[in-house]
Amino acid sequence: MFTSDLEVARFESAAIRTVSGIRGQVKKAARSNLEIIMKRKGEMDIVFLRAWVNVDVPTYCNLVTTALQPREQMWQGMRTTAELRRAHNIPIPHNKDSVYKPIERKPRKFNPIEIPAKLQHLLPFKSKPKDRPKQKKPPVEKRVPVVMDPSEKKQYAAVQQLMLLKHEKEKKKKSKEQKKKKAYEAEKAKTEQLTKKRQREERRERYREEDKRQKRARR
């Protein structure tokens, strides 16, 4: 791509992109075996380099002696657009889209960050969210009074009684499960203790037999 280090230095920081999707810029001149690797793999790619190059414009002068003006006459070039407008009283065209307008921005509202309770326990005290102010407006249930007729009152009372019975059953069931779990854990601990004791006795008996066997072998 480049023929010398000087040429690389002239194109430093220029943007490079290839057909295969490589994007980057020219950093500095450094010897690399990239060309050898690409030849080995049999791959070809086109590199696009966007850069400015100084182009020397040749000077050119063509004298026209047939269109010379007399000295007493003053040369006047083409009139500008402003001069033509003044001469013909043409107003400047007004574009509505080019007029400056006041910037109207909608107020940005940021919702509070919700941190899970599990993550709050792991955070240090400094980073933990502090107590937020309580809600000023009461909820809808408290603001709007609910007036029930006698039939609705009976239904509400029946539902409350059923919920109370359900909670009592769940409490009894939970306490029963806890007692059962404690009894099972106690039985399990007792069984493990007996198992450890039996294994200890078996090891002692095995060590005694091995000791006796070694003594017989020495005799």
CB atoms within 10 A of CB 16: 17
Which SS3 state, helix, strand or coil, does residue 39 take? helix
Nearest-CA neighbor of 51 among 25, 16, 17, 14?
Answer: 14
Integer angstrom CA distances of residue 183 from 158, 188, 197? 38, 8, 21
Share above pLDDT 90 across residues of the chain, in percent, rounded to a whole number = 34
Report whether pLDDT(211) > 80.
yes
Residue whose token pair is 């002692």 = 204
Residues 17 and 46: beta-carbon distance below 8 Å: no
pLDDT in tens, 152-193: 899 999 999 999 999 999 999 999 999 999 999 999 999 999
Q: Is residue 29 classed exposed, middle or buried when 0-12, 13-18 and 19+ CB atoms within 10 A define those classes?
A: middle
Structure tokens at 40: 């080995």
Range among 3-7, 56-60, 75-79, 199-203 rated most confident? 199-203
pLDDT (tens digit, 9 = 90+) per residue, 95-130? 988 889 999 999 998 887 788 888 888 888 877 777
Report how far apart, in Å, the C-alpha atoms of 212 and of each of 151, 205, 207, 217 are: 91, 11, 9, 9
The residue with tokens 């309580």 is 134
What's this model's pTM, rounded to 2 decimal places? 0.29
Q: Give residue 37's pLDDT band: very low, low, confident or very high (50, 70, 90).
A: very low
